[in-house]
Structure 1
């Protein structure tokens, strides 16, 4: 009896184990199905993403192509519309010519070839003219294209006139289908490349400048022409030739500057310096009784342009250009400045002394003995104070011209340093 119970207990245990295994298998099977479904779902999602990306790439490629087309049209509207007119004119022109030749009992294949020859010849010449633009003459190509276009247009016009007797305006439209596109292409290819209004104005002004320069400076023009003819073609610019010629003729490198103009400039500065040495009237300085006759000092003209001209002046006149006493004396010696009329000459002051007559012969004002005595006194006073006699002090004391004060100072200095020998 106990054995039977043990057997039954074992059977129950076995069945429980089998049922547990079955449950585990079912759970594992359900888990595997779930995993398989999840993997299938992920694969489906990945396939959808790939399809969307491919679709986006195709859409982006189409947009890029469309953008290139629209961008080209936006950047080249004239060329785009000319291309449209070409496409819309060639087809009806060829069809009209084929129909015209066919109605003239020409074989269809021959009519097609002849129509293609006329239209193709016109457009071939148009393309050849566009390729030759800027490299060689395009007149031959343009005339050939217009001739071929007119022949094709004449055929279309005759065909339209007979084909549409009640609507003759159609003949003109058919003729324009062969001529209009050639005309537009010719304008686009060869038009608008000439000089602009500003360029024409500049060229006109340049030509006028060259004419006036050659007219005003014939000597320089002759030398410049010789330089240009002697140099290799294109090696020497015209302006550089004129600069060299100007230096050769006038001795300076600044165009427009001559020796006469330089002398006038130096003389003008000398006159300004002379005027600046004159005493001012007393009524110009009210309220100054202690110094009723101060020297009137005028500012001398100067500026950055002086350096440009002084660089072209020889060393002597260049060193004399600052207006000083020494500068005026240098101008007197070189003859660049003419002093005032001398005493005893027409327009000068009379002088009865022998020294005055000698000075008049030399073209200078004679020294007045009274002025010499006053300058001697002034020199003694200055020497007592330990000061030197200067031209400015002589000029201020006597109120005389600068050149006269210079000669007085030199005369008194010569007396003081070389006193006359006593018997």
Structure 2
């Protein structure tokens, strides 16, 4: 019995513990739900605050955009023009209706003609029509407005028949005439301002277009034959398949027979210049690099260093008559313009022995350069002032001495 009771107590305790855990779990769930619900509400409030701030910013941006001087001027002018039309049109209608009721459309027609012609000026500016079209439309608009202004002035003076004093009737007539003329005039001034504003909006683009037009005009005036050929190519090709620049390049080749910018005279002048330069270099064998090496060697060995290789054509010292090295004795006169020296005699001469002075100069050059492996036919030729074949022999001889 006691064991049964003990077992029962353990079961009750286990059930109580289970109920406690279940209640704690449910309480935790309720707390989590409340926290989640509170977070959602806070997020919704924050989102509503952000949306209100965005709407305020959008309204402020719209106000700022609408209240710019340009918008105020454009919209204000249109409002003023509308008021002018509303003030002048009734007087015209009453004037013609007083004559006969069938004349009612004349007033709106005259007033409308002035406004339609003014709108035509704006359209002509937008489409960049010729200037005479714009001035014709302006003349028609002002003529219709002037006719309507005269009618309104006469109507204002006729108010004396309705008990208005003569002075007030004249003021009314002048006011009606002013608003009748002022509306189209204000609209025309508005159009002028907008046109000038559009032309100055992008000055860089306008300057580029002007420079491009000037370049095109000068190119066509200078190369008329090429321009005519370009026109032929553009007309011969299907529309849109050939660009003007490609057509100009092909036209240049057809007329001048050379790449763009090159003519027969340019090629002839270039060949003459290259021939002159080749002749001078072949005679003097002077280059900027050679002059720099000569100055270096003069500093290293002194103006009297080296020796004379005799027939080998050496000249280690700096001659008084020109740059170091002078003109070797082995060189002959040029065979002609643009041709190198005539080697027919020197190439058949037997090899002459290496001069000791030349070998000494090359050894010093190797020491200055940091080793014989740095010797080359060119720097030996520059140091000694001899032909390439003699320089090669000097270089090989010094290298052989170093190995031995």
Q: TM-score normalized by structure 1?
A: 0.47
Instruction: Looking at secondary structure, tell me which structure has more helix per residue.
Output: 2
**Highest CA radius of gyration, 1 or 2?**
1
